[in-house]
Amino acid sequence: MALDDPTPSRDPPAFPIVGVGASAGGLEAFTELLANLPPEPGVAFLFVVHMEPHHKSQLADILGRVTPLPVAEATEGMPVQANHVYLIPPNANMALTDHSLTLTPRPAVRAPHMSVDHLFRSLAAVQKSRAVGVILSGGGTDGTLGLQSIKAEGGITFAQDEKSARQNSMPRSAVSDGCIDYVLSPPEIARQLVRLVGHPYTQAPPRHQLPGDLGRRQDVVDAAVADQPLQTGHHPAPHPAADGPARQGRPARLPAAAPQ
C-alpha cells in the first residue's frame, strides 16, 4: 500500500514511534509482528534490517502483502505518520529528526555497519521517554548501544526471545547488557505494543527523563508483565545501577490488549 503525502508539520509526532532493528531472520520476525497487529495500532514503525548495500530492496513489496498498514521505503525528509511502516533503503542510515526521516550514506568502512544503533539513538534523542525500541533476530551486537540510549531516556525496550529467533546474538547482546524490558516472541511483542500505546505514560509529550519518571516508567513495565501469564516468555532483565534508585509505587493496571 502506498504512503500518503501529507503537508509536513513542525510539531513533533503526537504518537509513539517504534524503531525495529534486525538482521538474519529478522524479516520473518517482523512479518509475524505486523501480522498480529490491529488494523490501526496507533504507532509508526521504522524498520532497519541489515542488507546488501547495492541490491535493490524488495522489502516494501514483501511486507505490503502481510499488513494493511501503508509500507514504503524511506526517502529524505519523509514525514512520519501513525499507522505507517517506513523501511531503511539500501546503502543508507536512517534516523528520525523531529517529525521526519533523515537519510545519510552508509559509511565506506570495513567495520561492522551499526545502522540499528544509528536509528535507536535518533529515536531516543527525539522521542525521549516515548521512544520504543525492538530488537529482533540477527547476528552481532548492533542495536545494543542504541537501546541503552532509549532506556536512558525512559523509553521502553523489547527483544525477541531466543526460542523464536533464527539468529539470537543481537537480542541476546541487548538482554545481557540489561537494557531490555520485555523478552517475547514477535506476536507477543505486537500485543504488548498495543497495550503500551493505550497507557498514559506513552501518551505524554516527549521529554527528558525526570527524577520521578523512573518509578512511573517501571510501574508501566511491571503492570504489563503482571497482566501476562508466565508462559509468554517474559523475564525481567537486570537493571544497571546507573538506572537510578529502587522503584517505588503501586503499578497501575494497563488496558487489555485489543482483540486480534
Q: Which residues are catalytic?
A: 23, 50, 142
Q: Is 103 left (phi over 0), alpha (psi -120 to 50) or beta?
A: beta
- Is 36 strand, coil or helix? coil
Neighbours of 64 (CB within 10 A): 17
> What whole-number distance in Å separates Cα of residue 210 and Cα of residue 12?
20
All three cell numbers of 203: 501518551
> What whole-number distance in Å separates Cα of residue 224 and Cα of residue 212?
20
> What whole-number distance in Å separates Cα of residue 43 and Cα of residue 178?
25
- Residues 200 and 260: beta-carbon distance below 8 Å: no
> What whole-number distance in Å separates Cα of residue 165 and Cα of residue 184?
10
Neighbours of 108 (CB within 10 A): 7
> What whole-number distance in Å separates Cα of residue 8 and Cα of residue 75?
14
- CA dihedral over 86, 183, 233, 41, signed as positive or negative: negative
b/e map of 10-30 (b: 16 or more CB within 10 Å)? eebbebbbbbbbbbbbbbbbb
